[in-house]
Amino acid sequence: MPIDRRPLREQIREELLSRLDRGHFAAGTDINEVALAAELGVSRTPLREALITLAGEGVLESNQGRGFRFAPVSRKEFRELCEIVAGLEALALDRSDPAYLREIAPELLRLARDFPDRIAEQHVIERHDDEWHDLLVSGCRNERLIDLITSVKAGLRRYAHLLAGDDTPLEREAAEHCRVAELLMSGDQAAAVQALRDNWVNGMERMMSRIPST
């Protein structure tokens, strides 16, 4: 097996995002660099590099002399991020090869129908949702755009755990995914783009009430 030869800052970044998904960090709390570095078993240098990367992605914020902290969640920011990702994914879908889209449409439909039912754990659901969106935009040849989407979505991870609990949102989500897939199968790309936008807007609305008003 190939051994992991990526720089530590990247591994640290992923570990932190993973912990964020699992709700390890409360939004708005400061990060103690020495403590976190010790916990991760690395020195402060690569840890700070990871923190700076995450700050660039909007997951963290930094203040001069006060270090880093997880940016507090807010409805405003969540709306802004959803708006951006909606626009970017729509753009990606719009610029995808129609033939390729028709090709993957059945798989998209299958995934949408296989949406994990209520018994599934939180992170399983999220992974499944990500998988669907990733496949959807996989036909876009604009690599920069794909990277950007991934990066902006990292900022959304702070909101993921808020989804836990209720089931009806998931069913709606699945239904909307089905609709996008069906439109792609019928070859109506423009309509699919619009349906995707709607999916994001609706998903945003569904989450909105769960976000503490600040």
Partner DNA sequence: TTCCTGTGTTTTGTATTCAGAATTCATAGT
Partner DNA sequence: ACTATGAATTCTGAATACAAAACACAGGAA
What residue ranges bind its own copies (CB under 8 A)?
5-7, 9, 45, 48-49, 52-53, 56-58, 62, 64, 77, 80-81, 83-84, 87-88, 91, 95, 142-145, 147-148, 151-152, 155
Q: Are 195 and 179 contacting, i.e. CB atoms less than 8 angstroms apart?
A: yes
* Distances 131 to 46, 196, 212 between C-alpha atoms, Å: 29, 15, 28
Interface mask toward DNA for 61-90; x: CB under 7 A: -xxxxxxx----------------------
Contact assessment for residue 17 and residue 157, using Cβ atoms and an 8 Å cutoff? yes
Map residues 29-68 to x or -, x wherever contact with DNA holds by CB under 7 A. Answer: -xxxxx-------xxxxx-xx------------xxxxxxx
State both tokens at 160: 């993921």
Instruction: Tell me how far the alpha carbon of residue 188 is from its chain's centroid.
Output: 26
- Smallest separation, CB 6 to DNA (Å): 8
Can you list the positions of beta strands (E) in 51-169? 60-63, 67-70
Q: Does 95 bind DNA (CB under 7 A)?
A: no
| Binding positions for DNA, rule: CB under 7 A | 5, 7-9, 30-34, 42-46, 48-49, 62-68
